[in-house]
């Protein structure tokens, strides 16, 4: 009898221990979910391409790393305080557009006619609303014009004079086209044109010459909203009012709260053909791939096997970041509550 009671008691004790541990496990899982739900993440890029250490001076490398750090901090500070992903993306891109190191805003590359034509786009993952502008020559911050298209028009993409007029009506800051002139980009255009005309050129010592320098930012805020934005001067020597992937939603920029936000940089024509930013989202949604699997596949299989060089940054709904590229380097950085990272070359 004594043995029986003890035996039953033992069973009861064991069962309650299991029950208690299970409850703890559940509480733990819920806690983890809550932390993940409330975390923020921000990723930025400043272009991908033939960025090699041997072509870079230590001073120049330092300038790039500091600029990436500063940009990241601007966005992260907004997210840390509970600000919106849209605000973080806009302010971060403003800094990158103002910094002549990058091919966006001040520092944009020149087209074949010696003009700067700027493109930008934004997408909000919560409602699939999006805005884009193409071929701007007087708007200081093209990303803000793209946001105005998204929030204050019935349209998604405005280009040329119409886009300029709309930006002015919206009170967005404009500048004289000469504001965008930088000597290094002008020299790059002269070199590319000379090369096109058959000139034998020694390898340029300017690492920007052969790189795609678009800037982009993707943020997940503490409210669970994802926003992706991209801004660029396009590609040196572009002709015929060419647009690349940047103002094309689904090619250079995409965001959906159920999956991921993506901003791309690279040879835009390929990113349009393979709907790169949307393809990352689609692979996650339809194939159940992780953000790493989906973005790696698109960059290192789809694009690579078809000759499209470049990379992308992606942030998923849990704040996981992926930044694959198939070129020699990509200016990139990200921050999550537990980590900060800045990189330029492969293998770092």
Helices (runs of H) and strands (runs of E) counted in the chain:
10, 13
CA-to-CA distance for 238 and 327, rounded, in angstroms?
20
Closest CA to 235 of 192, 203, 299: 192
Does 244 bind ligand ASP (CB under 6 A)? Our answer is yes
Closest CA to 214 of 119, 279, 291, 296: 119
Does 289 bind ligand ASP (CB under 6 A)? Our answer is no
Number of residues that bind ligand ASP (CB under 6 A): 15
Pairing of strands 329-336, 41-49: antiparallel
| Residue 70 known to be catalytic | no
Does 47 bind ligand ASP (CB under 6 A)? Our answer is yes
Nearer to ligand ASP, 67 or 78 (CB): 67
Name the DSSP letter for residue 210: T
Does 309 bind ligand ASP (CB under 6 A)? Our answer is no
Nearer to ligand ASP, 100 or 213 (CB): 213
Does 213 bind ligand ASP (CB under 6 A)? Our answer is yes
Question: Strand order of the sheet with strand 260-266?
Answer: 253-255, 260-266, 310-316, 321-322
Does 55 bind ligand ASP (CB under 6 A)? Our answer is no
| Nearest-approach distance from CB 236 to ligand ASP, in angstroms | 9
Give the per-residue contact string, 257-276, with ligand ASP (x = CB under 6 A; - = no). --------xx-x--------
253 membership: H or E segment, kind and range = strand 253-255
CB distance 319 to 39 below 8 Å = yes
Which range, of 147-155, 196-204, 210-218, 277-285, touches ligand ASP by CB under 6 A? 210-218
Residue 135: strand, helix, or coil: strand
Which range, of 6-14, 93-101, 232-240, 280-288, touches ligand ASP by CB under 6 A? 232-240
Does 234 bind ligand ASP (CB under 6 A)? Our answer is yes
Nearer to ligand ASP, 46 or 319 (CB): 46
77 membership: H or E segment, kind and range = helix 58-80
Nearer to ligand ASP, 132 or 246 (CB): 246
310 membership: H or E segment, kind and range = strand 310-316
Does 245 bind ligand ASP (CB under 6 A)? Our answer is yes
- Residues whose CB falls within 8 Å of the CB of residue 89, separated by 6 or more in sequence, listed in order: 75, 122, 143, 217, 218, 219, 227, 228, 229
- The residue number whose beta carbon is nearest to ligand ASP equals 268
Q: Pick the catalytic residue: 84, 92, 214, 259? A: 214
| Residues contributing to the site for ligand ASP (CB under 6 A) | 47, 103, 212-214, 232, 234-235, 244-246, 252, 265-266, 268
Annotated catalytic residues are 214
């Amino acid at each position: 009898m004594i043995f029986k009671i003890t035996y039953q008691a033992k069973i009861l004790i064991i069962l309650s221990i299991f029950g208690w541990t299970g409850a703890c496990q559940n509480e733990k899982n819920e806690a983890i979910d809550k932390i993940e739900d409330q975390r923020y993440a921000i990723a930025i890029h400043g272009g991908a391409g033939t960025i090699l250490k041997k072509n870079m001076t230590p001073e120049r490398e330092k300038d790039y790393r500091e600029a990436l750090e500063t940009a990241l901090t601007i966005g992260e500070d907004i997210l840390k305080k509970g600000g919106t992903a849209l605000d973080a993306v806009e302010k971060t891109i403003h800094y990158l557009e103002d910094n002549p190191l990058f091919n966006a805003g001040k520092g944009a590359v020149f087209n074949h006619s010696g003009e700067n034509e700027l493109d930008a786009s934004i997408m909000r993952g919560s409602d699939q609303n999006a805005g884009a502008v193409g071929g701007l020559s007087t708007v200081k911050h093209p990303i803000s014009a793209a946001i105005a298209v998204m929030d204050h028009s019935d349209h998604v993409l405005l280009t040329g004079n119409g886009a300029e007029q709309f930006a002015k009506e919206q009170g967005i800051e404009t500048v004289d086209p000469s504001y965008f002139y930088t000597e290094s980009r002008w020299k790059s255009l002269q070199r590319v044109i000379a090369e096109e005309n058959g000139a034998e050129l020694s390898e340029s010592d300017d690492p920007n010459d052969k790189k795609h320098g678009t800037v982009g930012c993707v943020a997940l805020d503490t409210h669970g909203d994802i926003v992706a934005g991209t801004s660029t001067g396009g590609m040196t020597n572009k002709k015929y009012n060419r647009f690349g992937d940047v103002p094309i939603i689904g090619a250079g920029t995409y965001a959906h709260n159920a999956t991921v936000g993506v901003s791309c940089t690279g040879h835009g024509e390929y990113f349009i053909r393979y709907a790169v930013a949307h393809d990352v989202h689609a692979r996650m949604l339809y194939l159940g791939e992780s953000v790493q699997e989906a973005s790696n596949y698109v960059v290192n299989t789809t694009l690579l096997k078809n000759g499209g060089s470049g990379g992308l940054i992606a942030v998923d709904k849990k704040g996981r970041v992926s930044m694959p590229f198939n070129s020699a380097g990509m200016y990139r950085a990200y921050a999550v509550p537990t980590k900060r990272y800045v990189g330029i070359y492969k293998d770092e």
